[in-house]
Amino acid sequence: MMLDQAHAAFRLLVEWGILILEFFGTTVLIITGIVSMTRWLQRKSDVRTILSQGLLLALAFKMGGEVLRTVIITEPKELVSIFAIILLRGIVAAMIYWEITKEAKIEALYHAGKLPEKPPKQEQEDTVSV
């Protein structure tokens, strides 16, 4: 009897933890989207970096929720689907991280004077095409 109550309390704690992590991830994503859109409208050049960093942070929260979800699964089928979600989110996070580091290296080279001019790709992003 007491073990059942402890199990129910543990499950409730984990479910609340999942909900909180998912909420934080969604909140970060929405705030990042708003900030990125306003910076894009102001024609700032760091929009891609800010958006990428926000996406990476939001994905981290979402993946934390999925990892926590593995604690309360009951069927092997659920484990496979959660593993697939974590794997896909991990791949996306790695791609975003790679993009952030690539942009940071280009900016560092530009500011160090090792690039004679702003990268052409960056100049194209600063202009808005209709």
Entry pTM: 0.76
Q: Tell which wins on pLDDT, 109 or 56.
A: 56
Residue 130, pLDDT score:
40
Q: Is 22 exposed, middle or buried (0-12, 13-18, 19+ CB in 10 A)?
A: middle
Q: Is 59 exposed, middle or buried (0-12, 13-18, 19+ CB in 10 A)?
A: buried
Average pLDDT over residues 67-93: 90
Mean pLDDT of the chain: 87
- Please report which confidence band the pLDDT of residue 123 belongs to, taking 50, 70 and 90 as the band edges: very low
For 38-51, what is each residue's pLDDT tens digit?
999 999 988 998 99
Read off the tokens for 100.
């952030």
Read off the tokens for 7.
């199990």
